Structure 1
Amino acid sequence: MSESAQFTSAIDHSVPGLKKLIKNHLKFSLARDTQTASRRDWWLATSKAAQSLIIERMIATQTAHHRTNAKRVYYFSLEFLMGRLFSNSLYSAGIFDEIELALQEMGLDTETLRKEEYDMALGNGGLGRLAACFLDSLATLDLPAVGYGIHYQYGLFKQEFRNGHQVELPDAWLTYGTPWEIVRPEHSTEVQVFGQVENVFDDRGNYVPRWTGGKKILGVPYDIPIPGFGTNTVNFLRLWESRAPEEFDFEAFNRGGYGEAVREKNVSETISKVLYPNDKTESGKELRLVQQYFFVACSLRDIFRRFRKDNEAWEDFPEKVAIQLNDTHPAIAIVELLRLFHDEYGMAWEKAWSIVTKTFAYTNHTLLPEALEKWSVPLFQKVLPRHLQLIFEINKRHLEQVEAKWPGDVHRKRVLSIIEEGHVQMVRMAHLSVVGSFSVNGVAALHTQLLKAELFPEFDEMFPGKFNNKTNGITPRRWLLACNPRLSTLISKKIGTGWERDLDKLRGLEQYANDPDFQSEFMAVKHANKVDLARIIKTQIGISVNPAALFDVQIKRLHEYKRQHLNLLHILALYRRLLQNPDLDIAPRVFIFSAKAAPGYDLAKCIIKAINSVGTHINADKRINDRLKVVFLPNYRVSLAQRIVPAADLSEQISTAGKEASGTGNMKLALNGALTIGTLDGANVEIREEVGEENIFICGMTVEEVTALVKKGYRPHDFYMANEELRAVVDWIGSNYFTPDEPGCLRMLCDNLIYNDPFLVLADFQSYSDSHKLVDAAFKDKPRWAKMAIMNTARMGKFSSDRTIGQYASEIWKLDPVKV
């Protein structure tokens, strides 16, 4: 049992008590007996047993927050990549060991049961996973918090490969339900979309705009308890499911029109049907905007209900409520809160706007201008006509401030305007987020610096002190304790427990970094994890790999700026060197990829095809004697990452300098003893500072060098012509050598590199290739590699999400912990 605050549980936590609880849930919740129960039944019963304890603490937590009228932070995010909750829930409830013993006595084990859980895949990548880590840390630090998002019926998509091509299938994670969520129909709320704005007289004889007509949607909340580790605090994540206010049109049914009778229900439920509809089409864009408004409108009404329970004066709202916007997806909440105060509660504009701008804080996650959300004015006019009026008024008042600060400066007005002028006017959601928030933070030191200097320099000048940095972090509970039990056990044996809540304690491992015995133990753990991953690779895709080889891992969203194709060019260069010199002395390598490309992102999907086609060819080539293997594991998700991360030797973090905001995969891999090869981008800069230059492989251009090259005029063809090896491998991809059955299918990638190359792959190739030679030499020196791996694990304390959330709480939200 984990140590905890004064709290008396009514549940027997002993092994006999937990066995009885599991069997009771099997019998009374699932109507099964021990003879007929399937593995899934046992998993459900065990999960419900853990949930019983968690819910008991959740009720106590909410009682404590209500009793103290605590200030809460509300984390608004369109993504929460929660993964599986089974192991984490057992650890956080403090009953992992007891449950393991109880299951063993019943002829079962936790490892078998946890495979029965389907990933709660309510996110796309790092943004959603960060949100999940933050929820874990908020509860662990006893900070009153609620997460808000959408209860998607389908996750991003399930990925398969057919002839090397990505194929997207529905990710129906809810097909068999989940034991972790609690539906709260009593807190359902109704919101409006579409319609028009009419000017009418109010009850005081004033001419006011009123939003009328349109369509009503019902939001039904589902709560997922979020237990803290080593504490009794249990916060929750509230996800909204969309439904029609009227389930069934009896009049239409009686006329014989069954389809018409349920049409409204089907249309309404579409809103929470799928994560991120393809927004290449106008209907996709509309649905995405409706999704964003739906979840923030439901959430704000929910926050109002909770606030009014304990408070009367709206002036106190920012003293009790802090709302963190996770990127621009929830930015429409700024306008909705203003509308509620101004339109529905009759508050004067100045007072309403003052409260709004003291409530919201905004986290920026990207430096890519094309990734900053914009919506067309005509689309806004159709979906949210009243909000568009309010945005124009916000912008008018904002530009008056700009004029007062810089009289007659038309350029600054154009740059700072929330409305982008053009053939079609666009609403810039990032600009709205900056103007409507009291804090804007980046997610790594370099990212924040570039945010202020390059993306928003005029805003930084206009609002001095508003921009700040909060370097991202990861929860050590999931990304070491739960995902790497062998290493967790070794660490606790060597330096004791407590590091799970204070990751800086891992510094205690440094004194053993040169100890040959500890090096052997540490690398034996790594080898055992690699054996496990090799088994998964063989089972899933039929490729045999050598656990003694260097496991070179790149797992993240497939995007040009993350440069999986730079990795591919190096693989081809190595392959070519081996073919031309069979005696070449290199360490055997297994290159492991896992990633999903956005359905409408053609070049990213082409890169997936290229990696798969090249891999198929290399893996079958007997001439290289298994010294190179290329593996692309399909359907990347949290549970798969939890198996790859502990087994990685080398972590590929090779984004173009200045393009990756932070990255968190780099932190997870380094924490588990993988060495990083990376550019000075995002959090790599701070990882180097922490682990030391001697324990990381840095390559590629710096931000300054990238800027200078682009300013001078980057000509990828010059690099292509100047480097014989580079030219050979690029041409090799562009030929039909690897795709004889699909001639020309990789030509897009080849042409992009030679004639466009927006992310400077060819410019960084030689430096990257040279760094890999240093990796090869280090890996052959086993004591040196072991020491470097240990030092990476030992020095990752800064990158705990507990540190990140502690800084958010003290420096942005002004939030105090509440002990339960």
Structure 2
Amino acid sequence: MFSTKAEFKEAFLNRVERTSGKSFAETTPSDQFQTLGNMVREYISLNWIRTNEHYRSHRQKQVYYLSIEFLLGKLLGQNLLNAGIYDLVKEGLSELGIQLSELEEIEMDTALGNGGLGRLAACFLDSLATLDLPGHGLGIRYKYGLFEQKMVNGYQVELPEQWLKHGHVWEVRKADLTMEVPFWGRVETENDNGRLTFHQLDAEYVSAVPYDIPVIGYKRKTVNTLRLWSAEPSRYMPNKDVMKYKKDTEAISEFLYPDDAHDEGKILRLKQQYFLVSASIQSIVKNYLSQHKQIRDFHRYTAIHINDTHPALAIPELMRILIDKLGLGWDEAWHITSHTFCYTNHTTLSEALERWPVRLFQPLLPRIYMIVQEINERFCQQLWEKYPGDWERIEKMAIISYGEVRMAHLAISGSYSVNGVAKLHTEILKKREMKRFYEFQPEKFNNKTNGVTHRTWLLKANPELSHLITESIGNSWIREPEKLSLLKQYEDDWLFLEQLKKVKAARKEILAERIWKQNGIKVDTHSIFDVQVKRLHAYKRQLLNILHILYLYNRIREDSTFSIYPRTFIFGAKASPGYYYAKRIIKLIHSLAEIVNNDPIVNRFIKVIFLENYRVSLAEEIIPAADISEQISTASKEASGTGNMKFMMNGAITVGTLDGANIEMLERVGSESILIFGLTSEEVMKFEKDGGYYSREYYHHDKRIRRAVDRLVDGLLPDSEQFEVIYDSLLEGNDQYFVLKDFSPYVAIQEKAGYLYEKEQERWLRMMVQNIAQSGYFSSDRTVQEYAKEIWKIGKYGNRD
């Protein structure tokens, strides 16, 4: 049905009428979207079946990627692109009077994530399939995703993100593959002919029902699977209030990251994590045993990857299945388990490393707690043998200590590989956060710098730039992103630079239209689009950006001779519902925008825009339009960043600190093509360790800082009483993230950026070329190939063209 345009049109017309029960003229865009989605899923289903059959028959090692988040975005355009039928469908629909872009707009974002963690998982799935690697994702089918962000008088309001309200055309429910997950109850031991056996009695079971989503490789026959689990009442109904049981059960897969300020929320989060890993590990083992007779070879054919600590309970869960269900002894089970799991750490913030109170953990997961206890005992014994008498070291490295289960310690002890996500991040883990673990088992630790799929963030998001690249160097870069380096030959090509300038201008027009439609504000597309879009967190320092804007406001208002090249500051961010400081920052941005945008003296030079409900599909509009990419986290705090890579691919110039992958971007493009400022990670960590930073000194000795900081509370901004907590964090709290310390170098680098854009436009364009040309290294294809070769030990399985 997709062989020719004529065949597609005929099939589409017949299908849309049959499924909607209407004449074609009466069908709605929603009818048309559902029909097209079903047709595409059917089209790739034969390859999906064949891929799975191939895995079964060839018994090749497979990798399973466990993640609490998968931030897929909208899938119609991506699936059409990867299936190689985008242009055919677009032209065929156009001849029927339908705009494909309108159908794409109807689709809801598959919003099962919060930020970089979930988007990285989505990029990895794309690369695995495109590289013909046997790899699948396992996650939770949240009914409401994170939340839909609405702004009311500048305040963030969270609404349920109803991404499933029209169903999800890409998923296939597999009720026959349902797994039962046990909670609560008690454990009884029994002596079975000299062997101790364990039985979890009076457990409350929850059914995990899988929904499978196909993951299509770019113009490949490989179609891998993302399996999402939905929590439903079990047929093993407990003896309790049925309605309460139903409500408690469905809550498990209702929201991503429920508020864990209280015990009830903590228990729900822990339930979510065990629900994900128990269903997944049971499914993986069942699938393995359908192909292999010998469970003792499990680790030779299976790699299970833990994406951050949320799925770390997969380690004791596999032990439970191997020991309790399959009858293995501890040593044999541990050998298999510890050679199956690999773990990626995503943070340098020690407070972000998960810990669960034993008082909640033990009653909820009684058998799992027993296994974790045993893992801890044996791990501590190993430590004692290497460091006899060093009680402090053992106490700090223990998996269970101070009444808490430490999930990162569990993940490290049970994995054969532990990796960071940028060179700097990995070094910080080795030297600071996980120093003792690195000293104990240095062979486990390695680095895998993050990447993003250029097929989404360049080919799909920026067709104009993609066309220019293909026109210049051919289309092999789509499969081999390192070939983007061929663009360097056009650095001094005046015609190419002019075309590049036009492409950026076109994307800015598209974003300006979005801003007008969504915010009702006209922005100057000739101004510099200065963009900071990411999760709202204090260490990401949206506040530094805001203080710079306040400084510019003061200068423009108070110095009639001062002028700058016009600049549009664009923000997008969600703050976690319980993160009140971050929510005040969002309110601050809105109050600042209200003052700036309505001041006729100031708004000739600067405007401030906040685009609500930042999500993947919105990012696909914002990123190609950016001139400046703000990557200004406090050095040593951002593990890697992936937004920085997406902006780089689209020719934005990074204003950034020496943090995360910014350092590797600097190494690639050279200091002439990136704008670096501020403290180094070594300087930050020295201040944190030894002290010596006093924010009040900067406040008192730099008039620019004092005037900008005072603006937070002096009544200029609407609802300024809301910002006292921010003011206090800078002065009374001694500015934990060194905003005032980095303020002066940030102002200087921003002045340089403005000068280059206005006065040295050709140099700016050459900088853009250099960034795009060097961005191929930051493709997730490269990252996944490194994982496949060095950690997972999986390979391609023949020609799949």
The answer as to 2:70 corresponding to 1:80 is yes
CA shift, 1:208, in A, is 3.7
**What amino acid is the match of 1:36?**
E
Within 5 Å, give how 1:80-119 maps onto structure 2. Answer: 80-119=70-109
In the alignment, which of 296, 306, 316 is matched to residue 325 of structure 1? 306
2:554 maps to a residue whose letter is R
Q: Contact 2:563/2:605 (CA < 8 Å) preserved in 1?
A: no
* Aligned residue number for residue 488 of structure 2: 510
2:280, 2:493 → 1: CA distance? 54
Contact 2:423 2:660 in 1 (8 A): yes
Tell me what 1:193 maps to.
183
Please tell me whether the aligned partners of residues 582 and 624 of structure 1 are also in contact (alpha carbons under 8 angstroms): no
- The equivalences for 1:527-538 within 5 A come to 527-538=505-516
Residue 363 (structure 1) aligned to one of 344, 356, 359: 344
- 2:24 is paired with a residue whose SS is coil
1:284-323 matches, cutoff 5 A = 284-323=265-304
Instruction: Give the deviation of 1:712 after TM superposition.
Output: 2.9
Which secondary structure does the structure 2 equivalent of 1:35 belong to?
helix
TM-score, L = length of structure 1: 0.95
How far is the alpha carbon of 1:718 from its aligned partner?
A: 1.5
Aligned-pair CA distance for 1:636: 0.5
For residues 486-505 of structure 1, what are the structure 2 equivalents within 5 Å?
486-505=464-483
Q: How does 1:769-788 map to 2 (within 5 A)?
A: 769-780=747-758, 781-788=760-767
Partners of 1:261 and 1:445 lie apart in 2 by 52
Q: Show the counterpart of 1:429.
A: 407
1:752 aligns with 2:729: yes
- Choose the corresponding residue for 1:791, options 760, 765, 770: 770
From 173, 184, 197, the equivalent of 2:163 is 173
CA RMSD in angstroms comes to 1.4
Kept in 1: contact 2:281–2:318 (CA 8 A): yes
1:5 match: none
AA at the equivalent of 1:461: E
Correspondent of 2:367 among 361, 376, 386: 386
In structure 1, the partner of 2:118 is 128
Q: Is the 8 A contact 1:248 1:262 kept in 2?
A: no
- Displacement of 1:583 in angstroms is 3.2
Answer yes or no: is the 8 Å Cα contact 2:712–2:720 preserved in 1.
Answer: no
Q: Aligned pair in 2 of structure 1 residues 344, 261: CA closer, same or farther (>3 Å)?
A: closer
Question: Separation in 1 of the partners of 2:751 and 2:473?
Answer: 35
In the alignment, which residue of structure 1 is the partner of 2:654?
A: 676
Kept in 1: contact 2:20–2:27 (CA 8 A): no
Q: 1:241 maps to what in 2?
A: 230
Q: Which residue of 1 aligns with 2:593?
A: 615
Unaligned runs of 5+ in 1: 1-10, 253-259
Query: What is the deviation of 1:782?
Result: 1.4
Give the alignment of 1:642-681 within 5 angstroms: 642-681=620-659
Equivalent residues in 2 for 1:665-704, closer than 5 Å: 665-704=643-682
Mapped to 1, the partners of 2:47 and 2:419 lie a distance apart of 33
1:183 positional shift: 0.5
Is residue 576 of structure 2 the alignment partner of residue 572 of structure 1?
no
Q: TM-score, normalised by structure 2?
A: 0.98
Aligned-pair distance for 1:758? 1.0
The whole-number CA distance in structure 1 between the counterparts of 2:50 and 2:434 is 44
| Structure-1 residue corresponding to 2:221 | 232
* 1:722 corresponds to which of 696, 701, 718: 701
Q: 1:816 aligns with which of 790, 795, 801?
A: 795
Corresponding residue for 2:353? Answer: 372
Counterpart secondary structure, 2:252: helix
Alpha-carbon separation, structure 1, partners of 2:236 and 2:201: 22
Give the letter aligned to residue 748 of structure 1: V
Question: 2:44 — aligned with what?
Answer: 54
CA displacement at 1:621 relative to structure 2: 0.2
Select the residue among 159, 164, 172 that pairs with 1:182.
172
Identity between Structure 1 and Structure 2 (%): 45
Alignment partner of 1:553 is 2:534: no
Q: Cα offset for 1:30?
A: 3.5
SS at match of 1:73: strand
CA drift of 1:247 comes to 9.8
The Cα of 1:520 is off from its aligned counterpart by 1.0
C-alpha distance in 2 between matches for 1:408 and 1:716: 42
Q: Secondary structure at the match of 2:189?
A: strand
Structure 2 residues not aligned, in runs of 5+:
none
Q: Does the residue aligned with 1:199 lie in a helix, a strand or coil?
A: strand
- The match for 1:31 is 21
Equivalent residues of 2:69, 2:139 under 8 A apart: yes
What is the letter of the counterpart of residue 167 of structure 2? Answer: G
> Could you tell me how far 1:624 is from its partner in structure 2?
2.2
**Residue-by-residue CA offset, 1:228-247 (whole Å, 9 max, x unaligned):** 00211000100000110149
* Separation in 2, partners of 1:345, 1:315: 10
1:107 and 1:745 mapped to 2: Cα distance?
51
Separation in structure 2 between the aligned mates of residue 289 and residue 216 of structure 1, nearest angstrom:
15
**CA distance in 2 between partners of 1:744 and 1:584 (Å):** 30
The residue aligned with 1:734 is: 713
Once the 2 structures are TM-superposed, how far is the Cα of residue 92 of structure 1 from its aligned partner?
Answer: 0.5
Q: Deviations over 1:718-772 (max 9, x none)?
A: 2111211101110111222202xx3511111011011221111111111111111
CA distance in structure 2 between the aligned counterparts of 1:795 and 1:207, rounded to whole angstroms: 59
Separation in structure 1 between the aligned mates of residue 91 and residue 675 of structure 2, nearest angstrom: 43
* Alpha-carbon contact 1:531-1:547 (below 8 Å) kept: yes
Listed one character per residue, the Cα deviations across residues 402-447 of structure 1 (whole Å, up to 9, x for unaligned) are 11111111121112111222xxx11100000000000000000100
Residue identity matched to 2:518: Q
Q: What is the CA–CA distance in structure 2 between the aligned matches of 1:38 and 1:168, rounded to whole Å?
A: 30
Range that drifts further, 43-52 or 393-402 = 43-52
CA distance in 1, matches of 2:221, 2:678: 47
Question: Match of 1:606, as an amino acid?
Answer: R
Give a deviation string over 1:124-182, Cα, whole Å, max 9, x none: 10000000000000000000111100010001000011111111111010011111111
| Number of the residue aligned with 2:202 | 213
Change (3 A) 1:743 1:668: closer
- Runs of 4 or more, structure 1, over 6 Å off, are none
Contact 1:734/1:749, CA 8 A, preserved across alignment: no
Query: Secondary structure at 2:452's aligned position in 1?
Result: coil
Measure the CA separation in 2 of the matches of 1:627 and 1:321.
58
Instruction: Tell me the SS of whatever aligns to 2:741.
Output: helix
